[in-house]
Amino acid sequence: MEQTKRQPRKLGWRFVLLAVVLAVLISGVVRSIWLDVYFIPSASMEPLFRDGDRILVSRTDFQAEPVRRGDVVVFDGRGSFAPLNSGNGPVLEALGGLGHWLGLSGGENTYVKRVVGLPGDRVVCCDEGGQLTVNGKPLHEPYVYDGDAPSDQKFSVTVPAGRLWLMGDHRSMSADSRSLLGAPGGGMVPLDRVIGRPVRIIWPLDRFTAVPRPSAATVTTMNKNGQ
């Protein structure tokens, strides 16, 4: 009788273990192909994202429709933005990867910024009105953090083929393409390093909301009244 009582107990633990392993495997497949969760570790994308937000990122949106100006993108910064990091050892890197998997920290080489310049665009700061210009036209940027200038750093760049010029919405708090003008690659991020597009804030719950994609008509020529 004792043996018959213990056997279901053993099978129960095996079933639970198998269920956990399958759940992890399924989660890994989903997160590598369709959707992933990322942690926002700074204020560089305020007011859209706040420090501590968790965001759901679609890996397939840009397969259906290419990246366009004004899009917010999550990307792998190795070879472009990664020099901003001091660099960690393999143990800390592994812990960072685990933290990202659990949604407790940002990925070591993963960033979120907004597309300001597409391949071939000439991006300049700034015109007489203090606006960024793209291909000679003032850029209307309603997403920039209230009170921030479009940029306190002057620059004039032409985005190479296959790359993007990216900036944070909280310009005074963002280390972005401007910060790497003198580095290899000039802060331009390869298109093939884009991981996906944030589609929803999932934490904290009081900020649970969809992240809309901006209109395709982002660049506008503004009149003297800024309209």
| Band of pLDDT at residue 118, cut at 50, 70 and 90 | very high
Beta strand extents in 79-179 (DSSP E only): 110-117, 122-125, 133-134, 137-138, 155-158, 163-167
Give me the percent of the chain exceeding a pLDDT of 70.
69
Could you please state the CATH topology (level 3) that the domain comprising 34-210 is classified under: Umud Fragment, subunit A (2.10.109)
Tokens of 146: 């209230």
Which residue(s) pair with 123 in the sheet? 134, 157
Mean pLDDT of 5-11: 54
| Range picked from 31-45, 79-93, 134-148, 204-218 for highest mean pLDDT | 134-148
Active site residue 113: yes
Catalytic residue among 44, 58, 151, 177: 44
Please give the average per-residue pLDDT across 144-168, as a whole number. 96
| pLDDT over 60 (residue 3) | no
Question: Within a 10 A sphere around the Cβ of 123, how many other Cβ atoms?
Answer: 23
Q: What is the mean pLDDT of residues 32-47?
A: 86
Q: What local confidence, expressed as pLDDT, does residue 187 receive?
A: 86
Q: What is the mean pLDDT of residues 211-219?
A: 74
Rounded Cα–Cα distance for residues 211 and 105 (Å): 20
3-state secondary structure of 155: strand
Which entry of 42, 80, 113, 174 is annotated as an active-site residue? 113
Which pLDDT does position 183 carry in this prediction?
Answer: 82
Which pLDDT band, with edges at 50, 70 and 90, does 214 fall under? confident
* Residues in CB range of 184: below 8 A, 6 or more apart: 79
Q: What is the mean pLDDT of residues 117-135?
A: 96
Bigger pLDDT: 40 or 17? 40
> Rg of the chain's alpha carbons, rounded to an integer?
22
Q: Would residue 177 show up in a list of annotated catalytic residues for this protein?
A: no
- Give me 121's structure tokens: 């665009």
Residue 189, strand partner residues: 164
Give the SS3 label for residue 22. helix
Coil vs helix vs strand at 218: coil
The most confident of 57-66, 83-92, 123-132, by mean pLDDT:
123-132
- Mean pLDDT score across all residues of the chain: 80
Contact between residue 75 and residue 67 where contact means Cβ atoms under 8 Å apart:
no
Collapsing DSSP states into helix, strand and coil, what is residue 57?
Answer: strand
Report the pLDDT value the prediction gives residue 97, as an integer from 0 to 100: 47
pLDDT of 17 = 61
Confidence of residue 28 (pLDDT cuts 50, 70, 90): very low
- pLDDT of 61 strictly over 50: yes
With beta carbons less than 8 A apart as the criterion, state whether 46 and 40 touch.
no
- The confidence score (pLDDT) of residue 83 equals 56
Which pLDDT value is given to residue 7? 52
Residue 93 φ/ψ, nearest 5 degrees: -65, -40
What pLDDT does 104 receive?
47
Which has the closest alpha carbon to 59: 202, 203, 199? 199
pTM, two decimals, is 0.77
- Alpha-carbon span 29 to 13, nearest angstrom: 24
Tokens 């366009």 sit on residue: 68
Give the chain's largest Cα–Cα span.
Answer: 90
